[in-house]
Amino acid sequence: MPELYVSLSGGDVQEAFAAALDARGVPLTHLLRPADAPAELVAWVRARCARGDALALHGYDHAARPLGHGRGREGEFARLPRHEAGLRLTAARRAITAAALWTDVFVPPRWVASEGTVVALADQGFRVLADEAGVRDLATGSVRPARVLRVRTALLGAEVAWVLRRGGPVRIHVRAKDLRRPGRAEAALAAVDAALPHVVPTTYGRAAPRAA
């Protein structure tokens, strides 16, 4: 069966949504930006990961033009060369470690990573890269193609059905600010419910085997 990935990003705790997924047996992958994550959010993510959720490093500080690179609203890692991507990854890992957290999974801001970033991730021992195009095993270079489905579109249910007809996997991403808008949490959960009979719920942390 194809996999179901549900990820959550944003700067605050979303206990009600997480509890609704718990009731359905669906784990979350938490996308965390460590440079300015509130202490309450960090503590909540740590507790959730101890119960079966997963953590993905979601960039460092989401600077639109880190180290002078990028244009406008491009993602933090969208255009960085290998060396500069490595510097920001090192800083992000230090911040994660200082928060008593750890992960070898990376989800770039805006789901876009440069080729230099891909190489820098492998250099630093990251195991999984989940970007706009799919889920990549950084050890083997293999990619499971699958685009990210966002809750802010009214077509989410139809998009899930389309992906399932083609064999999945289903990747649903939710932002904390989406859940503060009327009907968005219900739409996300309805999409999850539609997918569940046809998928195996999992996290990006389980997307590639760990080294022995």
pLDDT tens string 9-65: 998 999 999 999 999 999 999 999 998 899 999 999 999 999 999 999 999 988 765
Above 80 in pLDDT, residue 146? yes
How does strand 105-106 pair with strand 128-130? parallel
> What's the average model confidence in pLDDT over 184-209?
95
Above 90 in pLDDT, residue 68? no
Count up the domains in the chain and report the number. 1
150: nearest Cα among 2, 4, 8? 8
**Torsion, CA 106, CA 81, CA 124, CA 92, rounded to 10:** -60
φ/ψ bin of 178: left (φ > 0), alpha (ψ from -120 to 50), beta (otherwise): alpha
Range of the domain at 49: 3-206
Confidence of residue 168 (pLDDT cuts 50, 70, 90): confident
- Angle, alpha carbons 194-200-205 (nearest 5°): 120
- At residue 63, the pLDDT reads 76
Above 80 in pLDDT, residue 131? yes
Confidence of residue 209 (pLDDT cuts 50, 70, 90): confident
- At residue 61, the pLDDT reads 87
Q: Is the pTM of this model over 0.95?
A: no
Residue 189 belongs to domain with CATH number: 3.20.20.370
Say if 212 falls within a structural domain: no
Amino acid, res. 175: R
12 touches 41 (CB < 8 A): yes
Structure tokens at 1: 């069966």
| 70-108 pLDDT, tens digit each | 445 689 999 999 999 999 999 999 999 999 999 999 999
Above 80 in pLDDT, residue 212? no
> What's the average model confidence in pLDDT over 173-197?
95
Say if 179 falls within a structural domain: yes
Give Cα 66 distance to the centre of its chain: 20
- At residue 64, the pLDDT reads 64
Say if 122 falls within a structural domain: yes
Confidence of residue 210 (pLDDT cuts 50, 70, 90): confident
Say if 211 falls within a structural domain: no
Rounded-to-integer distance, Cα 126 and Cα 131, Å: 14
Sign of CA dihedral 39, 53, 150, 147: positive
